[in-house]
């Protein structure tokens, strides 16, 4: 039996099994098995999908955004509009066949935007170019899910299922679980809070499915079986996703209003130029980037060539961003901006910087 059939079998059994206290273990194990087969499916050695050229686009700029969506929702129209790059637009499905990179310039940052072929249901199992498309999505700092505002909520659910199936977890944070495989000593299980879904026996059985007999497990939040499996498999990607409903020129204002209320959601029209500035600002916010300006002694800050770094980053990361070996010569930094109590303040490598801080690095003599 092939992996796809095995997956189908398990899914069928899960659908047939009633969800209750008595079947909890059984369902938990089925989930673990399912995740195992899905992982096997994604390994490059299997031949479940065709390989196509043009998907390996070199990473460039300060962040990478991937356009994911069903065919003809307007992905290429969007790329052509917000970047200087042209990507073919047409009213028929599967116009785009490869990965087309473009660049958005915003707040001094260069954001790489990737236009991709439309994906369809079953993409994660190799339908169409689904696997390659989703592989690109996995490399993104943010997924821009393009949706057709004239169509129902099902499109978003279907796309999320495809992303989930390949280990992408959108708009969720990594489970707060410590997990380490050991050489001996059996399974040590601990929890620092009350657990509703997991317990020692279930955890042991799940680990057995993966032939893990020695490990340390410490659960720090009330996580689900799926969360635990994610941690065991360890190859999950936690990525921010922005939902963008395009073609709002075709729907009523009330409908636009309703769509826009959903979290991480923007409603736009590429054709009628609605909310086009807002979507870029929204992407910037969700990329969670900040600008830090450098300054030399006795000179004005370099407001032209700011550094773009991840929000919450420290002086150490700023130094690394400036030059690989700068940290070795680092003595202290002078900082002006909202992250300090007074300006300038003398700070060390562990100081967390804010957006628009100005930094002067003082080297050792």
Ligand X SMILES: Nc1nc2c(ncn2[C@@H]2O[C@H](COP(=O)(O)OP(=O)(O)OP(=O)(O)O)[C@@H](O)[C@H]2O)c(=O)[nH]1
Nearer to Mg ion, 77 or 275 (CB): 77
Distance CA 244, CA 190 (A): 41
In terms of Cα–Cα distance, which of 204, 214, 206 is closest to 233? 206
User: 76, 155, 339, 360: which one contacts Mg ion (CB under 5 A)?
Assistant: 76
Residue 294 touches ligand X, criterion: CB under 6 A: no
Q: CA dihedral defined by 66, 142, 235, 204, rounded to 10 degrees? A: -130
Hey, which residues between 76 and 105 contact K ion (CB under 5 A)?
A: 90, 95
Nearer to ligand X, 28 or 118 (CB): 118
Residue 270 touches ligand X, criterion: CB under 6 A: yes
Nearer to ligand X, 236 or 247 (CB): 247
Which residues does 134 contact at the CB level (< 8 Å), separation at least 6?
A: 68, 119, 123, 124, 162, 163, 166, 168
Count Cα atoms within 13 angstroms, Cβ side, for 9. Answer: 8
- For ligand X, which residue has the nearest CB? 118
User: 12, 90, 110, 161: which one contacts ligand X (CB under 6 A)?
Assistant: 90
Q: Which stretch binds ligand X (CB under 6 A): 70-78, 201-209, 219-227, 280-288?
A: 70-78
Strand-strand pairing, 357-363 and 100-106: unpaired
Strand-strand pairing, 215-219 and 177-181: antiparallel
Residue 112 interacts with, from K ion, Mg ion, ligand X, none (CB under 5-8 Å by kind): none
In terms of Cα–Cα distance, which of 211, 214, 207 is closest to 188? 214
CB atoms within 10 A of CB 154: 8
Residue 271 touches ligand X, criterion: CB under 6 A: yes
Nearer to ligand X, 69 or 301 (CB): 69
With contacts defined by CB under 5 A, how many residues of the chain interact with K ion?
3
Nearer to ligand X, 69 or 102 (CB): 69
Nearer to Mg ion, 92 or 300 (CB): 92
Encoded one letter per residue, x for contact with ligand X by CB under 6 A and - for no contact, window 237-256 reads ---------xx-xx------
Nearer to ligand X, 94 or 303 (CB): 94
Distance CA 27, CA 274 (A): 46
Which residues does 302 contact at the CB level (< 8 Å), separation at least 6?
A: 293, 294, 295
Residue 269 interacts with, from Mg ion, K ion, ligand X, none (CB under 5-8 Å by kind): ligand X
Distance CA 89, CA 271 (A): 12
With contacts defined by CB under 6 A, how many residues of the chain interact with ligand X?
24
DSSP codes joined into one string, 92-147: SS----S-EEEEEEETTEEEEEEE-----TTGGGTSTTHHHHHHHHHT-SEEEEEE
User: 80, 96, 275, 286: which one contacts Mg ion (CB under 5 A)?
Assistant: 96
Binding site for Mg ion (CB under 5 A): 75-76, 95-96
Binding site for ligand X (CB under 6 A): 69, 71-77, 89-91, 93-96, 117-118, 246-247, 249-250, 269-271
């Amino acid at each position: 039996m092939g992996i796809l059939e095995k997956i189908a079998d398990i899914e069928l059994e899960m659908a047939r099994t009633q969800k209750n206290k008595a079947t909890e273990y059984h369902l938990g194990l089925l989930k673990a098995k399912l995740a195992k087969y899905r992982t096997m499916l994604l390994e490059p050695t299997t031949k479940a999908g065709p390989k196509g050229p043009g998907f390996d686009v070199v990473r460039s700029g300060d962040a990478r955004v991937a356009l994911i969506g069903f065919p003809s929702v307007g992905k290429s129209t969007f790329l052509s509009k917000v970047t200087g790059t042209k990507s073919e637009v047409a009213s028929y499905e599967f116009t785009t066949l490869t990965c087309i990179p473009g660049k958005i310039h915003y707040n001094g940052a260069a954001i790489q935007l990737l236009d991709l072929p439309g994906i369809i249901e079953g993409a994660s199992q190799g339908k169409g170019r689904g696997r390659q498309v989703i592989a690109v999505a996995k490399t993104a700092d943010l997924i821009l899910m393009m949706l057709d505002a004239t169509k129902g909520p099902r499109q978003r659910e279907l796309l999320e299922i495809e992303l989930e199936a390949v280990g992408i977890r959108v708009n969720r944070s990594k489970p707060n679980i410590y997990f380490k495989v050991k050489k001996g000593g059996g399974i040590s299980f601990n929890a620092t809070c009350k657990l509703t879904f997991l317990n020692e026996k279930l955890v042991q059985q799940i680990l057995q499915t993966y032939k893990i007999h020695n490990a340390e497990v410490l659960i720090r939040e009330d996580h689900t079986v799926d969360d635990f499996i994610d941690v065991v498999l360890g190859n999950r990607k936690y990525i921010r996703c922005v939902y963008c409903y395009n073609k709002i020129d075709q729907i009523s204002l009330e409908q636009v209003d309703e769509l826009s209320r959903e979290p991480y959601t923007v409603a736009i029209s590429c054709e009628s130029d609605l909310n086009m500035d807002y979507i870029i600002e929204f992407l910037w916010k969700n990329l969670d980037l900040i600008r830090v300006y450098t300054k030399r002694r006795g000179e004005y800050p370099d407001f032209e060539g700011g550094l773009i770094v991840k929000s919450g980053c420290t002086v150490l990361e700023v130094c690394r961003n400036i030059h690989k070996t700068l940290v070795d010569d680092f003595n202290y930094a002078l900082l002006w901006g909202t992250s300090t109590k007074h300006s300038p303040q003398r700070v060390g490598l562990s100081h967390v910087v804010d957006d628009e801080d100005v930094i002067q690095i003082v080297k050792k003599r």
